[in-house]
Structure 1
Amino acid sequence: MPETSVERTLGILLAKVEGIEKSIADGDKHRAVVHRRVDEVVESIGELSVEVAAMKGDVKDSKVITDEVKQWKQRGIGALFVSGIAGTALGGVAVGFLAYWWEAIMRVVRAA
C-alpha cells in the first residue's frame, strides 16, 4: 500500500507540474501578443510624429497667408472709410453748390 500512496502523490505532483508548464506556456503566448501590440502602437506613434511634423510646416505657411489676408482686410476697411468720408464731403459740397446756385440754375432752365 505505501507504493500506491507514493504513486498517487507522484501523480498529483506530476499533474501540478504539467499545470504549471501549461500556465507558463499560456503566459508566454499572452506576452507575445502584448509585445506585438506594443510594437504596433510604437510604429503608429512614429507615423503620427512624422505627420505632425509635416503639418507644422503647413500650419506655419497657412499662418503667413492668414496674416497677409488680415492685412488686406484692414487696408480694405481703411480704404472704405476714407472713401466714405470723401463721398460725404463731395456730397456736401454738391448740395452746398446746388443750394447756393439754385436760383441762378432755375433762371437758366426757365429761360431755355
Structure 2
Amino acid sequence: MSAVEIDVAVHRQLGELVAGMRGLQDSIRRIEEGAQRAEDKTATSHANVHLRMEQLADRVGELEASVLAIGTDVAEMKPVTDDVRRWKLMGIGALGVTGIAAMVLGVSFAEAIRRIVFVVIGKG
C-alpha cells in the first residue's frame, strides 16, 4: 500500500469517526432535550397537584366552618323545638279537656232541653 492509499484510508476512517461522533452528539442532544421536556412536564404536573391540594384544603376548611355554623344553629334551635313540642302536647291535652267539657255541657244542655220540652208538653 502506498502512502497515498494509506492517507486516503486514514482520512476515510477519520471521516467515519467524525460522522459517528456527530451522530452520538445528536443522539445525546435529543436525549437531553427529551429529559428536559420530561422535567418540564413533571414540574407542571407537580404544580397542578399542589394547586389542587391547596384548593381541596380550602374547600375542607370551608366545609368545617359550615358544619360548625350548622352545629351552632342546631344548638340554638333545640330549646325552641323542645318548647314547641311541649306546647303541642299541652295543646293536645287542652283540646282533650275542652272536648270532654263540651261533651258534658252538650249532654247537660240536651237534658235541660228535654226536661223543658216535657214540662211544656206536660209529661213531666
TM-score of the superposition, structure 2-length normalised? 0.77
Q: For residues 103 and 25 of structure 1, what CA distance do their matches in structure 2 show? A: 111
- 2:114 and 2:18 map into 1 onto residues whose CA distance is 137
- Compare relative contact order (CA 8 Å, sep 6+) and give the higher one, 1 or 2: 2
CA deviations over 1:65-90 (Å, ceiling 9, x no partner): 12211111111111011111111011
Q: Is 2:59 aligned against 1:56?
A: no
1:65 aligns with 2:80: yes
Distance 1:99 1:75 in 2: 36
More deviation in 94-103 or 39-48?
Answer: 94-103
Please point out which of 23, 29, 47 is paired with 1:32: 47
Length-normalised TM-score, structure 1: 0.85
Displacement of 1:56 in angstroms is 0.2
Identity among equivalent pairs (%): 28
How many equivalent residue pairs? 106
Distance 1:99 1:22 in 2: 108
Pick the structure with greater CA Rg.
2
Structure 2: runs of 5+ lacking an equivalent: 1-15
What is the rounded CA distance, in whole Å, between the counterparts of 2:104 and 2:116 in structure 1?
A: 18
Q: 2:108 aligns with which of 68, 84, 93?
A: 93
SS at match of 1:23: helix
Amino acid at match of 2:114: A
